[in-house]
């Protein structure tokens, strides 16, 4: 097990190196930050001065190794725009994104799996039909449309939930949370629903498919025959096996939710990392963009490893050696 983890971590490091190199090269060709850094009236001479001050006159590979060297010490450089440490800037936004992804994931997992079970028990029932067609809508509707519709209905027409922002927050050490205030919860509902709509539908369909398959298996029939209660059969015997693919998908998409909740964060002006990334792209703020991509890659790699390990816990038959 330990050697497996070690191998995965080493692989992860290689991937990170590749990611950093690719995005570093890419940014050489997208917009010259010097124009922005020197201000709009700067002369050629002043631009050169700035180029030198920021080390942008050095060859790409020198800049790259400098970046890697710094990154190993946790120094990803400073934002071109605000001159604040790039990693700090992003980490400051991390709690907002993490909480949003957590709530969205919880909604889609609990509701999705729940509905999936309900639908699989009476697949021909009217309720099941409604849920199934609803899930099609959830899968096919683009996030921005879901978000805007929710805003239209809940904020503009009904005026029951706020349309933007994070609401009141509480500082707990380094973590700024909105989950401890009523206002914070009010603000998180709409973006979390938006973010979860797709996942929820996927979870539900996955659970349903798995359940229907498992329910026909011999060991379930045995369980019924033994006279076990329906909850025990469904939740303990059937669901446990069904959950393996569901957890995998949930875990993988959690990483994606954190790294790419860009659209939802923009619609709801959620002060998270996705929002920051988009603004940084508009501003050609390369240090932030590169750091963000590195961080996103880290998160996704980490979660992938975690999911694999969770696999083993859920299904003792799987052994990594």
Partner 1 sequence: MKRLAVIASLVALLALPSLAMAKADLVIATDAPPKSMNPQAYSSDANYSYMSNFFDGLLQRKDGKLAPALATAWERIDALTWKFTLRKGVKFSNGNDFNAEDVKFTFERMKDPKYSRFLNFGNAIADIETPDAYTVIFKTVKPVPWFAETMHQNFIVDKESSLTRDDGDYNTHPIGTGAYIFDEWVKGSYVRMHANPNYWEGEPKYKTVEIRPIVEEATRFAALAGHQVDIVNGVPLTLADRIAKMPNVEMIQRPARRCIYLTVSNKPGTPFADKRVRQALAYAINEDEIIDKVMQGKATKASQIPDKATVGYNADIKRIEYNPEKAKQLLAEAGYADGFEITIAGPNDRYINDEKIAEAVAKYMAKIGLKVKLDVKPKSIFFDETAEFKHPFYLIGWFDGSYDFGRSAEKLLHTWDKEKGMGAYNGAVYSNPAIDDLIVKSSSIVDLAERDKALQNINAMVMEDVAWIPLHYQQDLYAVAKGKNIKFNPRPDRWIVVKEIQ
How far apart CA 112 and CA 118 sit, in angstroms, is 10
* Residues 220 and 233 sit within 8 Å (Cβ to Cβ): yes
How far apart CA 82 and CA 84 sit, in angstroms, is 5
Biggest CA-to-CA distance, the chain: 86
Pair of tokens at residue 214: 């498992």
- Give, as ranges, the residues between 96 and 135 that touch partner 1 (CB under 8 A): none
x/- track of binding to partner 1 for residues 146-185 (CB under 8 A): --x--xx--xx--x--xxxxx-xxx-x-------xxxx--
Partners of residue 177 on adjacent β-strands: 170
315 φ, ψ to 5°? -125, 95
The stretch near partner 1 (CB under 8 A) out of 36-44, 123-131, 224-232, 299-307 is: 36-44
x/- track of binding to partner 1 for residues 240-279 (CB under 8 A): --------------------------xxxxxxx--xx--x
Q: Look up tokens 């029932």; give the residue.
A: 125
How far apart CA 271 and CA 90 sit, in angstroms, is 11
Of 26 and 127, nearer to partner 1 (C-beta) is 26
- Rounded to the nearest 5 degrees, what angle is found at the Cα of 19, between the Cα atoms of 29 and 69? 90
How far apart CA 152 and CA 262 sit, in angstroms, is 20
Binding residues for partner 1, rule CB under 8 A, total 61
Residue 15 interacts with partner 1 (CB under 8 A): yes or no = no
Of 58 and 181, nearer to partner 1 (C-beta) is 181
Closest distance between partner 1 and the C-beta of residue 284, in Å?
5
Q: Of residues 3, 43, 231, 321, which one binds partner 1 by CB under 8 A?
A: 43
Closest distance between partner 1 and the C-beta of residue 77, in Å?
12
Nearest Cα to Cα of residue 291 among 19, 60, 59: 19
Residue 41 interacts with partner 1 (CB under 8 A): yes or no = yes
Closest distance between partner 1 and the C-beta of residue 11, in Å?
34
For 14, other C-beta atoms within 10 Å of its C-beta total 9
Residue 142 interacts with partner 1 (CB under 8 A): yes or no = no
Partners of residue 172 on adjacent β-strands: 175
Q: Of residues 7, 39, 137, 235, which one binds partner 1 by CB under 8 A?
A: 39
**DSSP per-residue letters across 28-44:** HTS--HHHHHH-TT--H
Of 135 and 261, nearer to partner 1 (C-beta) is 261
Closest distance between partner 1 and the C-beta of residue 261, in Å?
13
Q: Of residues 42, 252, 305, 314, which one binds partner 1 by CB under 8 A?
A: 42
Q: 164 CB contacts (<8 Å, ≥6 apart)?
A: 268, 269, 270
Please give the residue ranges that form the binding site for partner 1 (CB under 8 A). Answer: 30-32, 35-46, 49-50, 53-54, 78, 81-85, 88-89, 92-93, 148, 151-152, 155-156, 159, 162-166, 168-170, 172, 180-183, 266-272, 275-276, 279, 282-284
């Amino acid at each position: 097990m330990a050697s497996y983890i070690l191998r995965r971590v080493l692989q992860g490091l290689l991937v990170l190196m590749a990611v950093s190199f690719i995005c570093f090269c890419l940014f050489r060709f997208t917009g010259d930050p010097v124009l922005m850094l020197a201000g709009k009236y700067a002369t050629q001479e002043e631009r050169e001065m700035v180029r030198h001050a920021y080390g942008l006159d050095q060859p790409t590979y020198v800049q790259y190794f400098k970046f890697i060297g710094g990154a190993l010490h946790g120094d990803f450089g400073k934002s071109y725009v605000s001159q604040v440490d790039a990693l700090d800037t992003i980490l400051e936004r991390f709690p907002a994104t993490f909480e949003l992804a957590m709530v969205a994931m919880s909604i889609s997992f609990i509701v999705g799996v729940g509905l999936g079970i309900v639908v699989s028990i009476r697949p021909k029932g009217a309720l099941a039909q409604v849920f199934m067609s609803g899930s099609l809508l959830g899968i096919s509707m683009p996030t921005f449309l879901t978000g805007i519709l929710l805003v239209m209905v809940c904020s503009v027409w009904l005026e029951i939930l706020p349309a933007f922002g994070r609401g009141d927050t509480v500082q707990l050490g380094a973590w700024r949370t909105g989950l401890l205030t009523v206002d914070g919860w009010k603000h998180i509902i709409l973006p979390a629903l938006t973010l979860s709509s797709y996942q929820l539908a996927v979870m539900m369909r996955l659970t349903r498919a798995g359940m229907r398959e498992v329910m026909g298996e011999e060991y379930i029939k045995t369980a019924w025959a033994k006279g076990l209660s329906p909850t025990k059969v469904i939740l303990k015997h059937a669901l446990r096996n069904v959950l393996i693919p569901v957890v995998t998908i949930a875990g993988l998409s959690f990483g994606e939710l954190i790294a790419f909740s860009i659209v939802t964060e923009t619609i709801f002006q959620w002060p998270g990392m996705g929002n920051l990334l988009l603004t940084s792209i508009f501003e050609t703020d390369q240090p932030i963009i590169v750091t963000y991509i590195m961080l996103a890659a880290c998160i996704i790699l980490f979660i992938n490893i975690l999911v694999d390990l969770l696999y083993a816990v859920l299904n003792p038959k799987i052994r990594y050696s």
